Structures are given as C-alpha cells and as structure tokens.
Amino acid sequence: MIKVAVAGATGYTGSELLRILLHHPKVEIVRITSQQSAGTPLGAVFPQFRQLLELTYERLDPVSVVQGVDVVFLALPHNHSMKIASGILGSGVRVIDLSADFRLKHPEHYRTWYQVDHPAAPLLAESIYGLPELHRHAVRGAQLLANPGCYPTAAILALAPLVQDRRIELTGVVIDAKSGVTGAGKTPLPHLHFPEANESLMAYRVAGHQHTPEIEQELSLLAGTELRVNFTPHLIPMNRGVFCTAYATLREPASTAALIDLYAAFYKAKPFIRVLPAEAYPSTRHVRGTNYCDIGLKVDNRTGTVIVLSAIDNLVKGASGQAVQNMNLMMGLEEETGLRLPSLVP
C-alpha cells in the first residue's frame, strides 16, 4: 500500500482528494493536516467522512508530516508550499503540490503574476508540470510534481493538438473559460456569497489572470516558440465545472472531420480524454465528479476559424483527480487506478 499524507485537507481540493483516495485500492491515508483545525476529527469538519475515515487533523510540520509516508499531497493556498517543500523533499518523500507554487519555470513570473519572490527558486527547474497527457514520461520520475490548475488543464488540452501540429496561427488565440464557484477556494469572499453569485455571470481578472503564464508556458513548449493567448475567466453560478471555448485561426483550410481525427490520434491511449464526434459538444454535467476531459470542435469555414470546446470538473481533473492520476504514474501503478468513475448525473 502507498501511504500518503494530505496537507491542507480542509479546503475543497483537500476534501475531494480524500474522497478519491479513500476508495483507491492501493492507498492508505495515514495523516491529514490543518493549521486551523489541528486536534479536530475529520468528521467534525467534513461530516461526509464519518465512519469512513477516522483521522484527526495535525499541524503541518515538514519533519513530522513525512513520517511513515511515501507521498505528501500539498493542498495549500498559493505561496505556502514554496516555503515548506524543500524540507519535505529532503526526506526523500515524493511531493505533489496542488497549488501554483512550482508550475512556472521562471522566478520572475512569480514576481509578475503572484507578487512574491520565490523562496525556493532552484526547485522550479526540478519540478515536473503534471499534465500527464503531455508529460507522462517525466511524471513517472518526478520527486516534485506541480499539479496544473483547472483553467490551464481545460485550455491546454483543448489546444495542444492544433498547436503541436501547427494547424493554427500562433497569434490571436482566444480562450473564454467559465468556472464554478469552488474554483475560488473555500475561504468566503463577498462576491462568492450565494446572493451575489447566483443568477449572475461575471468576468474577472480580465487580461491579468495568474493562470495565463501557465497556459502560455505549456503551449509555447508544444509550439517550439513563444506564444501568447487572450485568456478571460468567468465565474458561473454552479458548484463544479470548467467549460472552455477556444478560438484560433486555421493556417490552411481543414474540415471538422479531419481535425477530429487529429485529436483522436493525439490523445490515443490517453484514458481520460474523450474526443467527441462531429456535432457533439461537451457539457460540465457529463464530467461532474470524474477525471475526464471531454473535447468537441467545429471548423467555421466562413471565417477560417476552429472552435474547440472542453469541459472538466475543476475539483477532479482540474485538481485532485489529476493529482491522483499523477501519483499513479509516479508510483508505477496503472494510470486509471481509483479513478474509473462515471459522472454524477443528475
């Protein structure tokens, strides 16, 4: 059995991670941490785990959290993992970080987009960006795994085949994405209160969202040259889900059928990508509670544009499920272990 600890197990991604790991046939959860809830039983914070997982929260300490475990999941707010990861890695335990702290390769990007000087900048070169569909081989050997964000996961997977195959112009790419309110985390904020978010749709951090450099970094690697995108996120009044619509100009005319074939070939043997047939488009409803990313597309011949749509559950493929997918690869397990789940419908 793989013994794991989950640090920061009081947030939405932390609780989702516990839900998935609880039913993983090769995992034993041995430790959970929380600074605010230390000494409190898990069931008192999350009643859904009563009689299923009898653990008590401990304070996060880099020395004690690694005792008797093989993998530590860091489900901490941004700018926290960067302060403790070095101490955990020194024990030889593998680390899967669900924050943004090790996703970007250039320290200056953290100053620009997160307004911090990275205290563990040398680790950025060692961290592996954990999008398994693109970096499976590197993920297997990772000691420090940077789990992607939900928006980047949906956007990169939507565009990767077109970028790598140079089917689109690399300028003028537009990404319009919408996320459920759990994407903002569990900390209450005025604009996330039910009366504020319900029956409303709003854009936020327009032309300045911190996931932008993450998207550009990975697409630029595929393109072999620097690439910029126009990314606009929106808050939509539902609990879970990310729906991404990407627009790009085709370099040469292509049919919808031909590009669907391109996607099917690119994602062959990638078990969590479902490329939909022509005239079928994804829905967040059909991926809710799952680790799947559904992708559909259509060519607009009138404008020479390809429109790609993707849908994921932001808490699963966009966070905790993908973290478990990465853990499976890192620990030599079949990629789908513990993640073969149909969507929660209705």
289-302 residue pLDDT tens: 999 999 999 999 99
Q: What residues contact residue 242 under an 8 Å CB cut-off, 6+ apart?
A: 150, 151, 153, 154, 177, 178, 179, 180, 183, 284, 311, 312, 313, 314, 318
The residues assigned a catalytic role are: 150
pLDDT tens per residue across span 40-94: 999 999 999 999 999 999 999 999 999 999 999 999 998 999 999 999 999 999 9
Cβ atoms within 10 Å of 236's Cβ, excluding its own: 18
Helix (H/G/I), strand (E/B), else coil: 17: helix
Confidence (pTM): 0.96
Helices and strands in the chain: count of H runs, count of E runs:
10, 13
Lowest mean per-residue pLDDT among 86-90, 163-167, 259-263, 342-346: 342-346
The two beta strands, 71-74 and 27-33, are unpaired
Other CB atoms closer than 10 Å to residue 195's CB: what's the count?
7
Nearest CA to 236 out of 177, 296, 189, 187 is that of 177
- The pLDDT of residue 184 is 76
Separation of CA 42 from chain center: 24
Structure confidence at residue 346 as a pLDDT band (50, 70, 90): confident
d(CA 135, CA 153): 13
pLDDT band at 188, cuts 50/70/90?
low
Residue 224 banded pLDDT, cuts 50, 70, 90: very high
For the chain, what are the domain ranges? 2-126, 150-314
pLDDT for residue 192 is more than 80: no
CATH number among 3.40.50.12280, 3.40.50.720, 3.40.50.2300, 3.40.50.1820, domain 2-126 = 3.40.50.720
The tens digit of pLDDT for each residue in 163-176 reads 999 999 999 999 99
Q: What is the pLDDT of residue 189?
A: 76
Average pLDDT over residues 237-250: 97
* Per-residue pLDDT at 8: 94
- Residue 290 Cα distances to 39, 81, 164, 171, 208, angstroms: 32, 26, 27, 33, 29
Rounded percentage of the chain residues whose pLDDT exceeds 90: 93
Chain mean pLDDT for the chain: 96
Mean pLDDT on 146-175: 98
Say whether pLDDT at 98 is over 90.
yes
Q: Could you check whether 2-126 and 150-314 share the same CATH topology?
A: no
With cut-offs at 50, 70 and 90, classify the pLDDT of residue 273: very high
Q: Between 3.40.720.10, 1.10.3660.10, 3.30.360.10, 1.10.3720.10, what CATH number should domain 150-314 receive? A: 3.30.360.10
More confident residue, 221 or 187: 221
Is the pLDDT confidence value at 186 over 80?
Answer: no
Residue whose token pair is 């940077």: 146
Q: Is the pLDDT of residue 274 over 90?
A: yes
Strand partners, 202: 235
pLDDT at 21 over 90: yes
* pLDDT of 187 higher than 90: no
